[in-house]
Chains A and B, each alone.
Chain A
Amino acid sequence: MASCRSLGGEIGAPAPHVLAVDDSSVDRAVISGILRSSQFRVTAVDSGKRALELLGSEPNVSMIITDYWMPEMTGYELLKKVKESSSLKEIPVVIMSSENVPTRINMCLEEGAEDFLLKPVQPSDVSRLCSRVLR
């Protein structure tokens, strides 16, 4: 699988750090596995609330990839909070969902999501993200 590490710029530069957010333990494991195989450093959390807590303490997150449907805070709500924050708004946010709902996709893209991936997410989806999102 193509490595995203080289897109960090300099040789020897640390791997881009991706924050994966999904309330499903299975999907967290899968997306983490896919991201790690692309040489990302991954932190996976189970809620939007935990994601925001981590973003408040971890300064070097290169990308957020989040499930859409989560209890308490949806991926869309997390996206909005990130884009409303002066310190976080530059972080690319990618939304994942198992449902292909055009209005939902458009809503997320209009709110500033970089991409919308249909689950099950595959390694080729992440490779595409590397070249588009992490320049």
Chain B
Amino acid sequence: MEYSNLRRQTIFMKKNLFDQGFLDEQFNQLEELQDESSPNFVEEVVDLFFKDSSRLLTNIEQAIDKYPQDFYRLDSLVHQFKGSGSSIGALRVKNECSVFKAHCNDRSLEGCRRSFQKIKREHATLKQKLESYFQLLRQVGPREHAVSSRK
């Protein structure tokens, strides 16, 4: 009974992440790659993303505060951030990065600052939600990883 409840919770949680636009199809593609030889593949990739992206966020913040502003470097940093976010299916993060890049193109520092705050919020929210999701998946157990990864 408990197992069924946990399983239902993981399905519901994942559906919410998609319905609320936090994740897109790329996340499903990564889950499809999980098997007995890589049972935690998605969590490992997501961990890599949050390690990498925390570093990038620090670099972006430093670049924003630097004077004179180097919009080319800012764009390059956010491009990296957007790319790796896209690779894990982080839809809202990816979309806000596109907004940031548009502000870089317009050379709007104020626009970049506003967008950066949104990126940080989206990043933190996604991190918290995915941590909860993976924590629940761990409770369900490795058997469920293989089952839930199938469409």
Question: What is the interface of chain A, defined by CB distance below 8 A to chain B?
Answer: 1, 24-27, 29-30, 33-34, 36-37, 69, 98, 119-120, 122-123
Contact = CB atoms under 8 A, between A and B. Distances in A.
B33 A123 contact: yes
A119 B86 CA distance: 8
Contacts of B51: 25
B133 to A, nearest CB: 18
A33 B49 CA distance: 15
B148 interface: no
A119 B94 CA distance: 13
Sorted from nearest, which 7 A-B pairs have the closest CB atoms?
A: A26-B84, A98-B83, A33-B33, A120-B87, A29-B45, A26-B49, A37-B33
Contact of A27 (B35, B41, B87): B87
A24 B29 contact: no
A122 B86 CA distance: 12
12 contacts: A1-B32, A29-B48, A30-B45, A30-B87, A33-B33, A33-B38, A33-B41, A33-B45, A37-B33, A119-B83, A120-B26, A123-B32
Contacts of A36: 37-38
B82 interface: yes
A25 B86 contact: no
